[in-house]
């Protein structure tokens, strides 16, 4: 009993909030931090009036992160949640944080896990402007809150005295990727361009361009890089793990090239023999590896063969 108590007070056993929060593991899995689905949604302030908001991914394996920016003249939300229930919880929580309406929803990722819950947002704030790239607009034709304004390269919003830069730094995870940079606080919300502790997920990715897009974000030398999936820790750790994620991406692409050259077959993810021979190195222990590895290989093969969608 004494030992158990000592371990708990030192935070060495999972099961208490402190133990969970003190465990620095970059693997994105919810249980890797001793958390459960019941711990979500949750949010924390990363700067005055700026909140990182976490729900859980529809797979229930990992978290999903949105950014809430509260200004004197309305709220800017970057990304939403993956189902209606979590979309409603997001609405309820924003209303707890502020009386201000959501004026802008910026689509960092057009994948369902970041926008399938848009219905409740649109219902709560029907006048909300939804901003995406043209590529994401196509992907969101059937969404409850389809984009109403487009960004191809860069757009700067000034809302209630807060400058918000919406950046298309190149195609990455979805092909319609947008990042959001806040110059006053040097916060960079990466959406799914940064999947911290997750095996590079490539269902709609542009593998080579993804690496270059991350390099551009790194060159901006933000203070805090926030990932679209994976834990939010201190700024130095988030920066180091962004570098680690990019390197893992490079490792996965290099392994794909090696297997392609060795003529290991991977015509599509379901029939990817090559995945069985792959050696992922540092990327081996990342969340969702088994599910994502064949998808990534098939996509890397497409890129090598010049068959990626234009």
Q: Shortest Cβ distance from residue 247 to Zn ion (Å)?
A: 21
Q: Across 138-193, where does the E strand assignment appear? A: 149-150, 154-159, 162-167, 179-182, 187-189
Q: Shortest Cβ distance from residue 257 to Zn ion (Å)?
A: 25
Kindly determine how many residues on this chain lie close enough to bind Zn ion according to the rule CB under 5 A: 3
For residue 54, state whether it binds Zn ion (rule: CB under 5 A): no
**Of the listed pieces 28-36, 186-194, 219-227, 290-298, which binds Zn ion according to CB under 5 A?**
186-194
**Of the listed pieces 134-142, 146-154, 185-193, 218-226, which binds Zn ion according to CB under 5 A?**
185-193
Asked if 114 and 192 count as a contact pair (C-beta separation under 8 A), the reply is yes
192/303 with CB nearer Zn ion: 192
Task: Give the rounded distance of the alpha carbon of 111 from its chain centre.
Answer: 10
* Phi/psi at 39 (5° precision): -80, -5
Torsion of CA 214, 218, 224, 227, to 10 degrees: 10
Q: What is the 3-state secondary structure (H, E, C) of 253-274?
A: HHHHHHHHHCCCCCCCHHHCCH
Q: Shortest Cβ distance from residue 62 to Zn ion (Å)?
A: 9
Radius of gyration of the chain, Cα coordinates, nearest whole angstrom: 20
Q: Of 189-248, which residues contact Zn ion (CB under 5 A)?
A: 192
**Of the listed pieces 34-42, 94-102, 106-114, 244-252, which binds Zn ion according to CB under 5 A?**
106-114
For residue 49, state whether it binds Zn ion (rule: CB under 5 A): no
Residue nearest to Zn ion (CB): 113
Asked if 195 and 229 count as a contact pair (C-beta separation under 8 A), the reply is yes
249/264 with CB nearer Zn ion: 249
For residue 113, state whether it binds Zn ion (rule: CB under 5 A): yes
Residues that bind Zn ion in the complex, under the rule CB under 5 A? 111, 113, 192
């Amino acid at each position: 009993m004494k030992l158990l108590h000592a371990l708990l007070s030192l935070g060495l056993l999972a099961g208490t909030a402190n133990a969970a929060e003190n465990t620095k593991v970059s693997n994105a899995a919810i249980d890797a931090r001793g958390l459960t689905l019941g711990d979500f949604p949750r949010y924390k302030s990363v700067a005055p009036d700026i909140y990182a908001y976490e729900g859980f991914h529809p797979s229930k394996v990992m978290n999903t992160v949105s950014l809430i920016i509260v200004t004197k003249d309305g709220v800017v939300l970057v990304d939403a949640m993956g189902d209606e229930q979590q979309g409603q919880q997001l609405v309820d929580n924003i209303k707890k944080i502020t009386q201000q309406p959501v004026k802008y929803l910026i689509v960092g990722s057009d994948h369902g896990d970041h926008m399938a819950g848009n219905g409740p947002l649109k219902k709560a704030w029907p006048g909300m402007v939804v901003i995406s790239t043209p590529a994401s607009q196509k992907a969101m034709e059937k969404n409850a809150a389809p984009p109403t304004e487009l960004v191809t390269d860069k757009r700067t919003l000034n809302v209630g005295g807060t400058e918000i830069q919406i950046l298309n730094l190149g195609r990455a995870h979805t092909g319609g990727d947008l990042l959001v940079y806040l110059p006053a606080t040097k916060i960079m919300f990466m959406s799914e361009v940064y999947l911290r502790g997750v095996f590079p997920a490539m269902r709609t990715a542009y593998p080579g361009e993804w690496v270059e897009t991350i390099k551009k974000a790194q060159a901006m030398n933000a203070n805090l890089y926030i990932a679209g999936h994976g834990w939010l820790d201190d700024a130095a750790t988030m920066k180091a793990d962004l570098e680690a994620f990019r390197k893992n991406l490079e490792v996965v692409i290099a392994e794909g090239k090696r297997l392609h050259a060795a003529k290991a077959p991977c015509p599509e993810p379901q029939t990817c023999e090559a995945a069985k021979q792959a050696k992922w190195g540092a990327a081996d222990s990342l969340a969702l590896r088994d599910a994502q590895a064949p998808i990534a290989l098939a996509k890397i093969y497409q890129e090598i063969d010049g068959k990626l969608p234009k």
